[in-house]
Structure 1
Amino acid sequence: MITLYKYRPFNDYLKPVIMSRKIWFPARAKLNDPEDLELKLVEDVDAEVYHQFLLKKADQESWPRKHLKYNLKKGFTPKGDLTSEAKRTIASSQAVLQKHFDGLGILSLSDKKNDPVLWERYGDKGKGVCIVFKMELSEYLLRVDLRSGKNGLKL
């Protein structure tokens, strides 16, 4: 069992949430910061991650050794850096994943029970409410740690 919190202003949108005991999961584009939960594969995937990806894909799809060797050769420079082609592949994958990800509903919750920053930002400067959610852990819950800087989804 996990307890999570949603800080909200006390407004007309709150009454249906309380009355119906249901809450809206907006798409990423409807969040207050369009860069929140933006995939950053191009920035996150380095040569080692891409190398492991190719090895895993080759294993899962039973690539012939020759095919793996070919993909490794076209994915890395002689110095071991990612080639332009590998970067294009990553960028293309990022675009496809982002499109699918953007179709999901997102509910941002906190594990902090009484956070002054969250009250200030989302709870109408402390005049709003904090809705408590008690739920079982689920594969549908994804923990995202937001730190200073860009709030992308780091894989």
Structure 2
Amino acid sequence: MDEKAKKQSLLMIPYGLFVLGAAHGGTATAATVNWVTQASFNPPLVVVGIKKDSGSHAMVKESKKFALSMLASGQKGIAGAFFRHVEPKDGKFGDFAFETGANGAPIISDAPASVECDVVGFYELGDHSVVVGKVTEAHVKRDADALTMKETGWNYGG
């Protein structure tokens, strides 16, 4: 396979940016993810790629629950804050407040929308696991355009 063509082709898939929240055993974490898509209307399913060597991966695998905070255009700072683990303290991850969803997973307070999910599929096939979540709750605080990788100038894919 032509590696350059593969990378260039796969980077043409448009990606949004999200913060995945997970909690288990009295601890919580949040991580920026971009491999997310809706996969079904009924039941409502989303699919997310979670890096296998991340703390989020272990928490989602154990708890079988997660939340996705949808980020709005202009929220690049929030997305950048969760490339590395940030320890939660006093209702915040670093500078960003969070709320606890009905399923126990953290949701970024400044996110315009979020969904809470129960894991219905967990596939460890590559360096990221493909996780299928059934949406059990949805929240909208305001209408907003999604933050995309193109807006940030970042690349993650290929």
Which of the two has greater strand per residue?
2
| Greater RCO, CA 8 A, separation 6+ | 1
- Asked whether the two chains share a fold, i.e. TM above 0.5, the reply is no
Which of the two has greater helix per residue?
1
- Name the larger-Rg structure: 1
TM-score (structure 1 length as normaliser): 0.30
